[in-house]
Structure 1
Amino acid sequence: MKTYLLATALVGLGSAPTIAADLAARPYTKAPALAAVYDWTGFYIGVNAGVGIGRDRFQHDWLGGASPYSFYVAPQGGFGGGQIGYNWQTGSFLGPIVFGVEADIQGAGLSDDGTTFNEGGIIRNYRQRLDWFGTARGRIGISNGPVLSYVTAGYAVANVKTNASASFGGVTNTFSTDRTQGGWVVGSGVEAALGGNWTGKIEYLYLNLGNKTDIAAIGLAAPLNTEIRENIFRVGLNYRIGGRAYAPVAAANWAGFYLGGNFGSGTGRDRSTLSVPAVPILQNFNLAPDGINGGIQAGYNWQAANWVFGVEADIQGSTQQDNKTCILSCSPALTAAYDATLPWFGTVRGRLGYSVGSTLFYATGGLAYGSVKTKINTTSFVGPVTQSFSHTNTGWTAGAGIETPFTLLGLLGPNWTTKTEYLYIDLGSNSDSFVFGAVPATATRSVTEHVFRTGINYHFNSPVVAKY
């Protein structure tokens, strides 16, 4: 997900004001009087809510040998909290630059208790939970009137609870930690004025909470290595204390066809199983492909006053991959090492939005489809064998975003816009049968993805760039 931040920074530069003449706004409503320049300077306080997903790699050699299991525990869930900050706005050759500091704290319910390994009646469970997290960050962005595109980075802290257990013959051994872990955070977002002193934002944060090594004696006393990495997707509402009130102009003209491209990142939380009934073996774990996405989109909008209704289709190439998951001891004698990818995907969605001046806030949802590939490199008494499975899946998607004018330092005209959006994608599940050694085996994979991306659009009906 970190690669996505570069795209957001470039879009922020493109949002700098242009000296080109503005077109007259389509008069859906009477434009109230407003200040010549929107000023972000001052204190603000607000609330936020969203969804988080962990990509926390565990390595545990519970038998004390030299071939640890490698797998991802992926705490997922909702959260909510508050933030407070201060902005300074100053001019530059790029246009108004905004510097800021922000601190936030969230209560969270991110958890994962679905990683279970059952091998010949020995059952091991791994669980993890984040009850709260917070950050203290700097922000820097480019202001295009009442729209701020920014990047952000700083300190992160969270409460992380980890549990492991092993049961056999009625005896259960357990291990647990409950600690506050600190690290760093980096992210990006878009914030836009809603009217008065209120603003709304959509934001992505990547939290790196460090690596820990503990001795977990649930079999033999052996190191349990954990890498805590969290992806945070959220929306926020801020109130600017003492700021100059913003009175939106008439809604921009969003009606008509548009065509564009996009770039972003994705993280998967693909619930998976490996079953070998004859042994018996039943493994429940996560595959966590992540990487870069990029593609094109086309759509059409209808507009009634400030309300915008639309349809949009897109197709993406993707580098999302998980080639670190290795179960069944990962030894030369017995291994199941995974290489899970999502080579491409696309969506066909409806959009429902509300235009505040020339900023469109929208929700979106519809059909999703994509290519799902899984390769399992196995070793057993018959030697190494590679199993490969490929499917084209369909499912659904839902998300939200913000779309605003895009001028690229004055080089582009009022036909261009940029959008930042989050999508949750569910591509359903697959079940594949094969022979492991000399006995039947079945592998399943349920594909769910979190995507955060930035796009640019060319509108053939020329949206209005309002004058600030």
Structure 2
Amino acid sequence: MKKYLLATALVALGSAPTLAADLAARPYTKAPALAAVYDWTGFYIGVNAGVGIGRDRFQHDWLGNGSVNSFYVSPQGGFGGGQVGYNWQTGSMLGPIVFGVEADIQGAGLSDDRTTFNEIGVLRNYSQKLDWFGTARGRIGIANGPVLSYVTAGFAYGNVKTNASASFGAITNTFSNERTAGGWVVGSGVEAALGGNWTGKIEYLYLNLGNRSDLATLGATTPIQTELRENIFRVGLNYRIGGRPYAPVAAANWAGFYLGGNFGSGTGRDRSTLSLPAVPIAQTFNLAPDGINGGVQAGYNWQAANWVFGLEADIQGSTQQDNKTCILACTPGLTVAYDATLPWFGTLRGRLGYSIGSTLFYATGGLAYGSVKTKINTASFVGPVTQSFEHTKAGWTAGAGIETPFTLLGLLGPNWTTKTEYLYVDLGSTSDNFIIGATPAMSTRSVTEHIFRTGINYHFNSPVVAKY
């Protein structure tokens, strides 16, 4: 959890201090006239949509003999809903500060029913679903005219359905529970004016809906312990009620080379299997590496009026890790425990964007590549053994983001920008053969990652400054 809090805070800080200046028109045109001060104060109402992924850790000693399985059920899917809120804008030494409150509710289709353990005549299955959720949050941000960078936190709640079953031949024992869980939420985002009274935003939220212990009779009557953790990536559209409509100034000059750095967080949902054909045993489960990533990027943009076309390459190190997954018996004498990491990854992407004043909204996609490491720690009659595997994999990525001016309390010039973006990364699958005692085994891992990050760029051009 500390990794998420640190990454979220730094994402917000990286995108927040856009205080003083906009990128403006091309050098060969006259700077646009000063615009009226943009004021975020007032009510707003809007809609949102996005994708969510759970990292819900289960622990279950289904036989009641001390052999506790530890694994992640990762509900994933889309959602959509609405929000309403109110902002107050006030001046400070840092510039315009915006305080706000916001409430939202969404219908969701986040589910995962793939976790199955098939162990010599016994078939166990675990599933979880989040079919709606909502939040009530405070927001605080720094405004740079029509761009607001903010952090947010508050109360979260949602409807969670948990199911488990164990089949012994023709006999099946089941467990089912549905409840409305409450907890807390923290996150960050960037919101920018689109024109008139409309604004658009990109946002990340981390929902902690608490822990739960339920008694289930699958083999023996024992607790199923679950941790409910959801990662939410979404875009939103708001309509400000009242206030001065926004008339965008001339599009900023995005053409040319740029170079920068980035920092953020990542969460994996790596569909995995373990099979021992000779026994027979077949397990399907999730590895869920999460952590912090950071690195550098370089790119080039071409511009036609407000449309921006670009290429960007980046590479970063990552601390993403899952060392909590333990399947099979997980007793001192028989263990299969995983340590799954993503040490580094990179992308080579095209970008297509539209500049509204000095704010660039863009979509991006292309090639992804990275290093996939899996350590499998086994214990059997031969004692503990660690077997390690490493692969460099290639796949694809797609995402979206917002890029805006960045001056860091006036210390940086008008050639600097900051961006906040979401990327989905698919690095394909790996397959590794190893030994448990004297029994051959095979493990597979399909690597998919959700990345939310912020970055700063230096543009090798000469924009004219236009202040709000």
TM range (shorter): over 0.9
Q: Which moved more, 1:379-388 or 1:125-134?
A: 379-388
Q: In structure 2, what is the equivalent of residue 410 of structure 1?
A: 410
1:5 corresponds to: 8
Deviating beyond 6 angstroms after TM superposition, the runs of 4 or more aligned structure 1 residues are 27-34
Q: CA separation of 1:23/1:388 partners in 2, compared to 1, >3 Å: closer, same or farther? A: closer
Superposition deviation, residue 439 in structure 1? 1.6
Contact 1:17 1:144 in 2 (8 A): yes
Residue aligning to 1:154: 154
The alpha-carbon deviation at position 6 of structure 1 amounts to 2.1
Q: Which moved more, 1:311-320 or 1:61-70?
A: 61-70
Task: Write the distance in 1 (CA, Å) between the matches of 2:401 and 2:264.
Answer: 13
Aligned to 2:357: 357
More displaced stretch, 382-391 vs 286-295 = 382-391
User: For residues 345 and 247 of structure 2, what CA distance do their matches in structure 1 show?
Assistant: 40
Letter in 2 for 1:8: V
Partner of 1:173: 173
Count of residue pairs the alignment pairs up? 465
Q: Deviations over 1:151-185 (max 9, x none)?
A: 00000000000000000111100001000000000
Unmatched 5+ stretches in structure 2 = none
TM (normalized to structure 2)? 0.97
Q: Which residue number corresponds to residue 136 of structure 1?
A: 136
Cα deviation, residue 33, structure 1: 7.3
2: CA distance between counterparts of 1:32 and 1:377? Answer: 64
Partners of 1:51 and 1:233 within 8 A in 2: yes
Gaps of 5+ in 1: none
Contact conserved, 1:27 with 1:250, CA < 8 A, in 2? Answer: no
CA drift at 1:368: 0.1
Report the equivalent of 1:341. Answer: 341
- 1:187 to partner: Cα distance: 0.3
- 1:436 deviates by 1.5
Residue identity in the other structure for 2:17 = G
Amino acid of the residue matched to residue 325 of structure 2? Answer: T
Higher alpha-carbon deviation: 4-13 or 28-37: 28-37
Task: For 2:114, give the aligned amino acid.
Answer: G
The corresponding residue for 2:225 is: 225
Partner of 2:90: 90
Paired residues of 1:62 and 1:221 also in contact (CA < 8 A): yes
Measured in 1, the distance between the counterparts of 2:465 and 2:381 equals: 68
Shift of 1:24: 6.1
Aligned to 2:432: 432
Matching residue's letter, 2:76: Q
Q: In the TM superposition, what is the alpha-carbon distance from 1:8 to its structure 2 partner?
A: 2.7
Partner of 2:43: 43
Say which SS state the counterpart of residue 247 (structure 1) adopts: coil
Shift of 1:29: 10
Distance 1:436 1:35 in 2: 70
Separation (CA, whole Å) in 2 of partners of 1:227 and 1:152 = 22
User: The residue matched to 1:330 in structure 2 has which SS?
Assistant: strand
- Identity across matched positions, percent: 84
Would the aligned equivalents of 1:13 and 1:94 in 2 still touch at CA under 8 Å?
no
- 1:277-307 Cα distance to aligned partner (Å, 9 max, x none): 1111101000000000000000000000000
Deviations 1:425-445 (A, max 9, x none): 000001111121112110000
Distance 1:385 1:396, change over 3 A: same
Instruction: Give the TM-score taking structure 1 as reference length.
Output: 0.97
Task: Report the 3-state secondary structure (helix = DSSP H, G, I; strand = E; otherwise coil) of the residue aligned with 1:328.
Answer: strand
Question: Cα RMSD over matched residues?
Answer: 1.6
- Cα distance in structure 2, aligned partners of 1:188 and 1:9: 5
Pair 1:41–1:358, CA change in 2 (3 A) = same
In 2, distance between residues paired with 1:30 and 1:411? 24
SS at match of 1:15: coil
Q: CA deviation at 1:150?
A: 0.1
| Contact 2:31 2:466 (8 Å CA) reproduced | no
Counterpart amino acid of 1:189?
G
Give the structure 2 partner of residue 311 of structure 1: 311
C-alpha separation between the residues in 1 aligned to 2:220 and 2:297? 54
